[in-house]
Each structure stands twice: as structure tokens, then as C-alpha cells.
Amino acid sequence: MPGNSQTVMIACVSPSDRDFMETLNTLKYANRARNIKNRVTINQDKSSRTITLLRQEIQQLQLELQEYKQGKRVVGEDGVESVNDMFHENMMLQTEINKMRTRVKAMQETIDALSSKNSQLLAEKATVGWITSGGNKLDCDKVDKLVLGCSGSDNDVTELIQGYLKEIEELRAKLLESESTCQQLRKVASRPTNRSSNTGQFELSLSSSAVSVIEEAKKELNRDREAVSRILAQEREKRDGAEEGESDGEDRDGDLEDSESDTDTEDKEDSEPQEEYGLELAELNSEINIKQKLIDELEQSQRRLHVMKQQYEDKLQQLMARIKNTQEERDKVLASYSELYTVILGLSHIAV
């Protein structure tokens, strides 16, 4: 049958005489069906294929637009498309951050295990020291029993001391972390301040020189514009004088006919200064446009530098605030540590 498929037909016939006509019609129909030749064609028209290609192109353009928004792709000044170096750097930094997170997690688990073991050992040591202090010498079996917590009261004291020591170790770890963080923040904050103190005079002189250059360029631009206006005024005056001369010449037609050769030479002499004025005017206009573009670029760079300076100062203020918060947190940890140490000393005196 017509289409893109191969059709198989089975013709069923009967040997009976009374079914002769049906058998003959079936054989004729099967013969006609066998003679049908199919041509396999693509079941897709041009419009649907074009729609598919356009959809694929839209998806590709959406991906490229997303890359531009993310900063992965950039277009240079010459219009050449390239991959941003910051994207590769961010990918490398992200990989390094993931590795460092895994390492920090493993080290944190190790530190927790060692801190628990250390607090347990310190508790056992403190218990043994309190039992054997004050001249009360006990035998080794009793000391072992007290250390292992066979007695109820001693076991409670050991657990209490162990809890305090564990908390002290945690506070000590937080204190060390806060001190290291504070030290790193101080280093980060001291670098920009030193750099700014060393280069502050240079930045001030640079900004003042840029401002002076812009002011000088604006003055020169104004002078060029005044020169252009003077040339235009002179040209206008000459044109007005020429029109007056033409009106006078119309009143004296007889005299002009006698001196046609003289007027031709004068017209040639007058056209040469006009051409020179036109060239000078074009050069001045070109210089004015170039200087105006340079002034705009300088002002734009000054605004950009001002924005960068403001961002730099804001970041410095944030770092100083973080240093202050870290110092306050360190002071709180030190206060908690001293309070716990006082409590443990009191418990040791009571146990003795």
C-alpha cells in the first residue's frame, strides 16, 4: 500500500466452484497490489525541518546568552569573542575550595576525636592527682578503681571534670581560631593601609594631574571654538561685503563691461583665501572633535577611578568591622575560659 512501509498481502482462495468469482476477484486484487511500487521518502516537509533547525539555534543562542550573563564569554574591543580568564580562575578556585572543604572536614573530625581523648586523659590525670594529694597515699588498686569509675560519687566527679575539660578544650580551640582569624584580617587590612600610605601621595598627584590635564584640554577646546567662530564671522563679513559690491555693480553696468578682465582676476584672488579659510575651518573642526572625545574619555576614566576608590574604601571598612567583631568574640571566649578555669579550681579545692 502507499506509504513509507513495505506491505505484505496474503490472498486466500477457495477450490470450490461456487466461490469461483470471489477467488478470481481476490487474485486480481492481489495482482494489482503486487504491481504497486512504493518510493520511500522522508516524512518531513521543509517547514517542519526549518522549525527544528530554528529551535536548535534558539537553544544555542540562549546558552550563549547565559554564558555572557555569567561572564564566561566576553567580546573584546576589536569584536573578537573569547572566554573570560576570570571564569577559568573561578573554576580553579572552586575546585580548590571543594578540596579544602573536604580536608577541613577530615581535620575537624580528627581534632574532635583528639580533643575527646585529651579531655578524658586530663580528667583521669586530675582525678589521680586529687586522690593522691594532701599526703593521703592510696594503693594502686583503689586508684585504679576511682579512675575507672567503679565508685558512684567518684564516677560523677570524673564525668563532671571531664565535661568541664572538654568544654575548656573547645573554648581553647575557638580561641586559637579567633586569634588566627584576627591575625589574618590584620595582615589583610595592614597591606592596603601600607600601600595606601606609601602611594597616597602618588595617587593624589595623579588625580590632580589628571584634573589639570582635563582643565587644560577644555581651555584649549574653547580657544579652538572661538577661533572657528572668528573665522565664520570673517567669512560672513566678506560675504556681506561681496553682496554689497554686487549691488553697486548692478548700478554701474557700463563701467563693469569695460573692466571685466579686472573683476575676473579679483574673483580668482578672492576665491583663494576662501579655500584656505575652508581648509583651516575643517582642520579646526576635526581637532575640536578629537579633543572632545579625549576629554570625554578622561572624564569617564576619572569617574571609574572614583567608583573603584569608593569600593576599595567600603571593603576596607568591612574588613575593619570584621576585625573588631573577631576581637570581641575572642574577648568573650577568654572570659568564658577564665570562668571555667575558676570553677575547676574551686572543684579541685573541694575534692582535696
Instruction: Spell out the domain ranges in the chain.
Output: 1-43, 85-242+284-351
User: CA-to-CA distance for 68 and 87, rounded, in angstroms?
Assistant: 11
Q: What is the mean pLDDT of each run of 10 residues along the chain (352 residues)?
A: 67 81 88 78 70 89 83 69 74 86 80 74 66 46 45 58 69 70 68 50 53 71 75 72 57 50 51 66 77 78 78 79 78 74 64 52
Q: What angle do CA 183, 187, 192 make, to 5 degrees?
A: 150
What pLDDT does 202 receive? 43
What fold is seen in the domain 1-43?
Methane Monooxygenase Hydroxylase; Chain G, domain 1 (1.20.58)
The residues near 235 (Cβ < 8 Å, ≥ 6 apart) are 274, 277
What pLDDT does 284 receive? 75
Which DSSP helix (H) or strand (E) runs through 55?
Answer: helix 46-70
User: CA-to-CA distance for 342 and 14, rounded, in angstroms?
Assistant: 115
Nearest alpha-carbon partner for 279 in 228, 223, 218, 217: 228
What pLDDT does 140 receive? 44
Residue 209 cell numbers, joined: 594631574
What pLDDT does 58 receive? 92
What pLDDT does 129 receive? 62
- Residue pair 24/32 in contact (Cβ under 8 Å)? The answer is no
Residue 134 CA: distances (Å) to CA of 99, 137, 148, 350, 351: 53, 8, 21, 12, 11
pTM value? 0.32
